[in-house]
Chain A
């Protein structure tokens, strides 16, 4: 086994072409997952009638099944549904109109929503009950309490877990190659198939992922410091 260090650099350059795809998948799934997850967490914490049971069911089903299964089920299922519907209605187009990356966006957002909701729920539960009582005694409405008092503190408590979650989604985005979306890892495989230097190509992918992860860790740390500023000084 001989290592060809120059090919690691060469592969690294080629892998950069796939960087936007990886970033887009991660950003979309984290963004949608965060919004949906926040909604789910609020519904559960405030025990909204009927909905909180549905939300709990959603979380247990989605967390109970692997990310790859979500992708495969959504890809195969949505294709079938769309093709059946458009065929029945005679619209003259089919599922091939949906870009492949769309399936990745949708299914990874679904995955992210369940995991993210639990992170936010733990953040919401970490805020002391007295905070809400104090806000209400000052005459704030429920929405004001949520926005001004509960949410900033819940989010601050969630930041370390959220960073972890974003990193997880970044690494999970490599699954997209199953539906022909060429992300960094897929590109490594393709690049290496010309000269069979898989080890070098995978090392290049690892370096790229590690670099992105370090940036995410740093960003997470910075956000944590900023968002926790309210802790400093004053009366605790």
Chain B
């Protein structure tokens, strides 16, 4: 028994010390060129994923590579990890910034630094079946209708907020997203609608059985995410902003969006 306890303590200590090692390897490599570690994932189709040749690519990845080419004072190197680990790695200094379609929101702004020039915009729309011909402009036209929403998602939040102002107006059907049945539920009429980003709709509905209607309900800015209260991070963010403005001006940004996402998501409404 005592030996078991010793083993357990040893294991915990080993895990702790392993976690403590290996900070960011950011530093000068070549003369005047600063090495920057960029955190991203591999599970986001069209944004950050491994292609059939085993190469990391996608909209965010190629955008960062383009920025790297325009910023001679930096050398960017990717480090891939689980999405949920990116922010933690940023805090612990294992990476210098994160590129994974990070949406700006007040909670994140409190803890992290964002650059200022968004490289994409996510808009949430009402999503209905393709053959739905009801005149739908906003949630006001959806009273009494059933919405499918994944519990705790941003989309559920939009519906809940609306119901807070209009008690009982929308019927929210919750699930946990495990069955990937959004398209089936809407096309069979089990629910009437859902909230979805125009950006991700082609991913969940490749056959185009659904459509977005009305005006965007919300619009979120997509930015890179940096460590807060760190002068070097601030400098990096500013440099990236300058390069992003250039990319936006010469049309490279829109072209990348067209190429990877099939549509230009880089302008503001």
Count class of interface residues, chain A: 20 to 34
Main secondary structure of the interface of A (DSSP, over half): helix
A72 at interface (Cβ–Cβ under 8 A)?
yes
Given A177-B176, A180-B174, A189-B151 in contact, is the A194-B190 Cβ separation under 8 Å? no
Question: Hey, what's the 0/1 contact readout for B210-222 against A, CB within 8 Å counting as 1?
Answer: 0000000000000
Given A180-B173, A190-B174, A194-B160 in contact, is the A72-B152 Cβ separation under 8 Å? no
A193 at interface (Cβ–Cβ under 8 A)?
yes
Which of the residues A72, A94, A190 comes within 8 Å of B188, measured between beta carbons? Answer: A94
Within 8 A of A (CB), among B197-236: none
Bound complex: CA A96 to CA B181 (Å): 12
**B152:A179 contact, CB within 8 angstroms:** no
Given A95-B188, A189-B152, A193-B160 in contact, is the A178-B179 Cβ separation under 8 Å? yes
Bound complex: CA A192 to CA B189 (Å): 29
B184 at interface (Cβ–Cβ under 8 A)?
yes
B157 at interface (Cβ–Cβ under 8 A)?
yes
Bound complex: CA A190 to CA B175 (Å): 10
Residues of A within 8 Å of B185, CB to CB, are 180
Given A83-B188, A94-B189 in contact, is the A177-B157 Cβ separation under 8 Å? no
Question: Hey, what's the 0/1 contact readout for A173-186 against B, CB within 8 Å counting as 1?
Answer: 00001111010001
Bound complex: CA A100 to CA B175 (Å): 11
**A75:B179 contact, CB within 8 angstroms:** yes
Question: Hey, what's the 0/1 contact readout for A182-206 against B, CB within 8 Å counting as 1?
Answer: 1000100110111000000000000
A79 at interface (Cβ–Cβ under 8 A)?
yes
Bound complex: CA A118 to CA B145 (Å): 46
**A177:B152 contact, CB within 8 angstroms:** no
B178 at interface (Cβ–Cβ under 8 A)?
yes
Residues of B within 8 Å of A100, CB to CB, are 190
Which of B156, B160, B184 has the most chain A CB atoms closer than 10 A to its own CB? B184
**B188:A76 contact, CB within 8 angstroms:** no
**A79:B175 contact, CB within 8 angstroms:** no
Residues of A within 8 Å of B120, CB to CB, are none
**A180:B175 contact, CB within 8 angstroms:** yes
**A182:B189 contact, CB within 8 angstroms:** no
Which of B156, B179, B184 has the most chain A CB atoms closer than 10 A to its own CB? B179
**A178:B176 contact, CB within 8 angstroms:** yes
Residues of B within 8 Å of A190, CB to CB, are 151, 174
**B189:A186 contact, CB within 8 angstroms:** no
Residues of B within 8 Å of A194, CB to CB, are 160
B240 at interface (Cβ–Cβ under 8 A)?
no
Given A75-B181, A180-B148, A194-B160 in contact, is the A189-B176 Cβ separation under 8 Å? yes
Given A94-B188, A186-B174 in contact, is the A193-B179 Cβ separation under 8 Å? no
Query: Nearest-CB distance from A172 to chain B (Å)?
Result: 14
Bound complex: CA A44 to CA B184 (Å): 40
Question: Hey, what's the 0/1 contact readout for B248-266 against A, CB within 8 Å counting as 1?
Answer: 0000000000000000000
Residues of B within 8 Å of A182, CB to CB, are 174
Within 8 A of A (CB), among B152-201: 152, 156-157, 160, 173-176, 178-179, 181, 184-185, 188-190
Query: Nearest-CB distance from B164 to chain A (Å)?
Result: 9
Q: Which residue of A lies closest to B190 (CB)?
A: A96
Given A96-B188, A96-B189 in contact, is the A193-B176 Cβ separation under 8 Å? no
Residues of A within 8 Å of B173, CB to CB, are 180
Bound complex: CA A95 to CA B189 (Å): 9
- Residues of chain A whose beta carbon lies under 8 Å from any beta carbon of chain B: 68, 72, 75-76, 79, 83, 94-96, 100, 177-180, 182, 186, 189-190, 192-194
- Residues of chain B whose beta carbon lies under 8 Å from any beta carbon of chain A: 148, 151-152, 156-157, 160, 173-176, 178-179, 181, 184-185, 188-190
- CB pairs A–B below 8 angstroms (21 shown): A79-B181, A79-B184, A83-B188, A94-B189, A96-B188, A100-B190, A177-B175, A177-B176, A177-B178, A178-B175, A179-B175, A180-B148, A180-B174, A186-B151, A186-B174, A186-B176, A189-B174, A192-B152, A193-B152, A193-B156, A193-B160
